[in-house]
Structure formats: structure tokens, C-alpha cells
């Protein structure tokens, strides 16, 4: 699943569309995670794209009459194309702009979303309960320490809770915990303030490094220009089961936490 860096890379790739006016909307298959609203064909026509923002893993395309929410789901991809580029089997949604460019959503598994959230997107049920952005100043060691004092779940599953902090998915949780030298199986409430500060620092650094590398391209993710990201080449832990740790040389281990595979070095990430 594309995580925060991949969604942010996608958002940045769409920025040339700002101030462009919609010419047409095409809905080829409305059966996504939630049905694509049919009224978008009329609602968006002749409207100007005012801004493109991101909240967690959602892209918010603000037009002069409201906001469109886009989510990539498990395998979705948004491309910026010439309007004459022919659609393929899994190309479900297009916004054609008057300058001849096309925003196209491809989603083979159809777990993504295209929803109209109106004039107050922050009040929509998908957005209203979200925690702070991990790269914002509000997300700091003190905030994390205070927020997890009563949490007995593992720290890995805890930092993946979008009510606590958004956008720290499976890949970047594993990588951040390795960099912070914290055992992912440690109960969250056992982390000291110092460890929380170190973990926050490494979450921010890991996400920024991923952004600078164009995100991670494992299966389905490509940027809007069709180019892959390269952060997967820098992984310390994720997906490296039984391979030697890049720091100590001992084999990387895997454990299931919260129904997700978690990769870590038992030597570098000791719990004591």
C-alpha cells in the first residue's frame, strides 16, 4: 500500500494542474471502496482547481465549489497524462483539463477512493478523527510520551494508529524503529521520554529520506510521471528477513504484530 511519502510524491506531481479548469470527467467503473459519485461529471465541469493538499494518505483537490478526496488504496496510482492517452483496463476515473492534461486514477484492486467532501473536508468522517501529521511540530517526543502512557499494545502497532499520528505505515514504522534502536515488540507505555524523542526524530528523518528518494516502489507505486521511487534500496529492516543486518551483520527477523509482518534486528533493537 502506498504510504505517506508515496502519497506526498503523487500530490507534488499534480501541482502543475493548479489553476487549470476542468473540461470533462469520466467515470469508467464507479465500484471502488465507496462508489464514485456520479454527480462529479456535472459538479466538476468548468471548475478551477484551486489547491492540492494532503491529509494523512488522502489527497485533497480543492476546486472553487468544494473538495475532492482521493485515496490510492492498496494498489492505486494517479498519473498526469496527455488527454489523448488511451485508457487501459484498470483506469477507472479521469479528470480532463482544458489545457489538454489528464488526471487518471488506475486501481486494479479498487480499494481506493474518489469522494466529494464539499466545503468543509476536515469535518468529513474519514478526516475528522485523525492525529497530527508526523512532520509537523506538534508531533514531538513530549506529545508521543504523553499519548502512550496507558497503551499496552506494542510500540510498532501503536505508532501505526492514525488517531495518534497519521501516515506511519508498515514500511516506515519498521524502518523508524530500527533507526531508533527500539524493539518493535516493546509495550508502548514502557518507552521513556528520551526514547520517545529519539523515535520521533527517526520517524521524521525516515519519512524525509523517503521523500527525497521519490518514495518506495515495491509493487504498484510509480509517481505521476511514471517513474519509480528508490527508497527501498535504503531499507535497513523492511522485507530483509534472514538477510544480514547492515549494522551488526546478524540476520533480520520477522514477527507478526497487529496482523502485519514486522522486520527487526534482535541484536540492534534490544528491549533493554
Pairing of strands 113-118, 66-71: antiparallel
What domains are defined for the chain? 4-123 (3.20.190.10), 141-264 (1.10.8.50)
Mean pLDDT of the 83-90 span: 92
Which residues belong to the active site? 2-3, 57, 260
Please give the pLDDT value at position 223: 44
pLDDT by residue (tens digit) across 46-66? 999 999 999 999 999 999 999
Please give the pLDDT value at position 1: 64
Please give the pLDDT value at position 228: 43
Mean pLDDT of the 155-172 span: 94
Task: Evaluate the CA torsion angle 224, 228, 233, 236 in order and state its sign.
Answer: positive
198 confidence band (pLDDT: 50, 70, 90): very high
Mean pLDDT of the 148-173 span: 95
Calpha distance 35→173 (Å, rounded): 31
pLDDT by residue (tens digit) across 214-260? 665 444 444 444 444 445 567 889 889 999 999 999 999 999 998 88
Please give the pLDDT value at position 215: 60
- Percent of the chain exceeding pLDDT 70 equals 92
272 confidence band (pLDDT: 50, 70, 90): low
Task: Specify the range with the lowest mean pLDDT, choosing from 50-54, 76-80, 186-190.
Answer: 76-80
Please give the pLDDT value at position 210: 86
pLDDT by residue (tens digit) across 114-136? 999 999 999 999 999 999 999 99
Please give the pLDDT value at position 106: 92
76 confidence band (pLDDT: 50, 70, 90): confident
Mean pLDDT of the 179-195 span: 97
Write down the mean pLDDT value for the chain. Answer: 91
In this prediction the pTM is 0.89
Amino acid at each position: 500500500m502506498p504510504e505517506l511519502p508515496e502519497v506526498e510524491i503523487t500530490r507534488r506531481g499534480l501541482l502543475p494542474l493548479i489553476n487549470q479548469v476542468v473540461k470533462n470527467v469520466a467515470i469508467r467503473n464507479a465500484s471502488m471502496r465507496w462508489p464514485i459519485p456520479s454527480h462529479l461529471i456535472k459538479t466538476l465541469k468548468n471548475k478551477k482547481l484551486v489547491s492540492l493538499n494532503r491529509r494523512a494518505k488522502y489527497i485533497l483537490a480543492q476546486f472553487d465549489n468544494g473538495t475532492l478526496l482521493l485515496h490510492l488504496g492498496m494498489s492505486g496510482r494517479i498519473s498526469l497524462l496527455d488527454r489523448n492517452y488511451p485508457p487501459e483496463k484498470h483506469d477507472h476515473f479521469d479528470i480532463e483539463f482544458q489545457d489538454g492534461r489528464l488526471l487518471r486514477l488506475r486501481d486494479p484492486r479498487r480499494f481506493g477512493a474518489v469522494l466529494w467532501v464539499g466545503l468543509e473536508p476536515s469535518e468529513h468522517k474519514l478526516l475528522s478523527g485523525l492525529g497530527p501529521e508526523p512532520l509537523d511540530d506538534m508531533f514531538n517526543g513530549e506529545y508521543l510520551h504523553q499519548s502512550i502512557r496507558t497503551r499496552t499494545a506494542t510500540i510498532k502497532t501503536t505508532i501505526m494508529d492514525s488517531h495518534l499520528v497519521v501516515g506511519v505505515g508498515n514500511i516506515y514504522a519498521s524502518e523508524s524503529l530500527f533507526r531508533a534502536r527500539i524493539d518493535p515488540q516493546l509495550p508502548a507505555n514502557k518507552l521513556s521520554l528520551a526514547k520517545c524523542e529519539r523515535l520521533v526524530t527517526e520517524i521524521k528523518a525516515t519519512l524525509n529520506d523517503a521523500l527525497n528518494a521519490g518514495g518506495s516502489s515495491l509493487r504498484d507505486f510509480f509517481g505521476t510521471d511514471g517513474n519509480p521511487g528508490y527508497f527501498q534500496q535504503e531499507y535497513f529492516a523492511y522485507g530483509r528477513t534472514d538477510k544480514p543486518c547492515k549494522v551488526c551483520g546478524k540476520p533480520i527477523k520477522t514477527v507478526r504484530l497487529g496482523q502485519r509482518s514486522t522486520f527487526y534486528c534482535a541484536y540492534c533493537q534490544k528491549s533493554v
